[in-house]
């Protein structure tokens, strides 16, 4: 019996150790991610990392760009810190030999140059931004968020995870070419019917047009008298003028929080330390 109790005690202790290990909280940057910390990290990065990586997060002669729009295995602060401090086994990435405080500053810089809108604490009333989106801004008539809204424009469910804050602002205020699948088009059939919308698919022989009411039309080119494409998207680019400054900021804050794919990506990346 005594031997059985000893064995049970050993398994109980092992179970506690495993449970404790599973609950380890990965460290956050103790220095924060303020502009001063980022600027100091930028200086340190260009001083210590550019023998392999390029300056300012660009591609170097012996290592990839760390600020480019690409898929990174190491996303969290803890994972980036680990890579700099200990290197990456099986690769040319060595341990840096830097002090922890220096590494955390570089981590802040790398996270900053990779950041999308959802990585920032954007000021504004998100609830009012939602009301502006659905009402005065007119966004919901063309765009969808999590299955609600129009189809004539791109889905915005993950816009905060896909674009930087400056890119979101520019999309609301500056003219730009339309995205593929959302090119404005006006087709005239052989019978004289005119349909306006966006070209979802088009080749030399056929075209699929989503009209302004959300109905999809499929045509062969032989059925059409004319196909006219517009050089600019249907997206209004003056919302900073049609909305008050406070309303515009609230809309920006609301859009920055739309990050469905980022949540999924970061959940997948939480096991990345040690890869």
> Does residue 109 sit within a domain?
yes
Based on the domain organization, do 221 and 242 belong to the same domain?
A: no
> Does residue 253 sit within a domain?
yes
Based on the domain organization, do 159 and 213 belong to the same domain?
A: no
DSSP 117-132: GGGS---S-HHHHHHH
> Does residue 84 sit within a domain?
yes
Based on the domain organization, do 102 and 51 belong to the same domain?
A: yes
Cα separation, 212 vs 34, whole angstroms: 44
Based on the domain organization, do 168 and 252 belong to the same domain?
A: yes
> Does residue 152 sit within a domain?
yes
Based on the domain organization, do 172 and 189 belong to the same domain?
A: no
Shortest CA distance to 182 belongs to which of 206, 203, 208?
Answer: 208
H-run or E-run covering 149: strand 148-149
> Does residue 97 sit within a domain?
yes
pTM of the model: 0.66
Q: Which domain holds residue 72?
A: 35-114
Instruction: Give the model confidence (pLDDT) of 214-248 as tens digits.
Output: 999 999 999 999 999 998 889 988 999 999 999 99
**Residue 132 pLDDT greater than 70, yes or no:** yes
Note whether 136 and 247 are within 8 A (CB): yes
- 75 Cα distance to chain centroid: 12
Q: For strand 183-189 and strand 144-145, is the pairing parallel, antiparallel, or unpaired?
A: unpaired
Cα separation, 147 vs 163, whole angstroms: 20
Based on the domain organization, do 41 and 130 belong to the same domain?
A: no
What's the CA dihedral at 24, 30, 32, 37 to 10 degrees?
A: -140
> Does residue 120 sit within a domain?
no
Based on the domain organization, do 161 and 254 belong to the same domain?
A: yes
**Which pLDDT score is estimated for 121?**
79
How many C-beta atoms surround the C-beta of residue 124 within 10 A?
19
Q: Total domain count for the chain? A: 3
Sheet holding 183-189, edge to edge: 216-220, 206-211, 194-202, 183-189, 224-229
Based on the domain organization, do 150 and 69 belong to the same domain?
A: no
Shortest CA distance to 249 belongs to which of 116, 115, 129?
Answer: 129
Based on the domain organization, do 48 and 100 belong to the same domain?
A: yes
Helix pair angle (245-256, 126-134), 10° resolution: 100
**Which pLDDT score is estimated for 275?**
40
Based on the domain organization, do 105 and 63 belong to the same domain?
A: yes
Note whether 231 and 214 are within 8 A (CB): no
Q: Residue 50: which pLDDT band, with cuts at 50, 70 and 90?
A: very high
**Which pLDDT score is estimated for 22?**
45
Shortest CA distance to 223 belongs to which of 244, 238, 208, 201?
Answer: 208
**Which pLDDT score is estimated for 176?**
85
Instruction: Give the model confidence (pLDDT) of 69-91 as tens digits.
Output: 666 667 788 999 999 999 999 89
Q: Give the CATH number, domain containing residue 110.
A: 1.10.760.10
> Does residue 93 sit within a domain?
yes
> Does residue 27 sit within a domain?
no
């Amino acid at each position: 019996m005594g031997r059985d109790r000893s064995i049970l005690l050993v398994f109980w202790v092992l179970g506690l150790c495993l449970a404790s290990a599973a609950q380890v909280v990965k460290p956050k940057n103790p220095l924060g991610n303020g502009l001063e910390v980022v600027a100091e990290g930028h200086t340190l990065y260009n001083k210590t990392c550019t023998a392999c990586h390029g300056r300012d997060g660009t591609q170097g002669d012996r290592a990839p760009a760390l600020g480019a729009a690409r898929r990174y295995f190491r996303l969290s602060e803890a994972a980036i810190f680990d890579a700099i401090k200990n290197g990456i086994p099986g690769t040319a990435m060595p341990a840096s030999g830097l002090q922890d405080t220096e590494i955390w500053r570089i981590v802040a810089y790398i996270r900053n140059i990779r950041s999308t809108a959802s990585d920032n604490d954007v000021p504004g009333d998100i609830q009012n931004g939602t009301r502006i989106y659905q009402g005065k801004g007119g966004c919901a008539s063309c765009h969808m968020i999590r299955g609600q809204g129009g189809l004539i424009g791109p889905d915005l469910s993950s816009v905060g995870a896909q674009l930087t804050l400056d890119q979101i602002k520019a999309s609301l205020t500056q003219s730009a070419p339309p995205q593929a699948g959302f090119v404005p088009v006006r087709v005239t059939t052989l019978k004289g019917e005119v349909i306006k919308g966006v070209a979802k698919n088009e080749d030399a022989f056929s075209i699929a047009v989503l009209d302004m009411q959300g109905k999809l039309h499929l045509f062969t080119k032989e059925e059409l008298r004319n196909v006219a494409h517009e050089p600019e998207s249907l997206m209004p680019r003056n919302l900073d003028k049609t909305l008050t400054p406070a309303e515009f900021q609230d809309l920006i804050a609301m859009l920055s929080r739309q990050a469905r794919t980022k949540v999924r990506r970061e959940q997948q990346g939480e096991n990345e330390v040690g890869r």
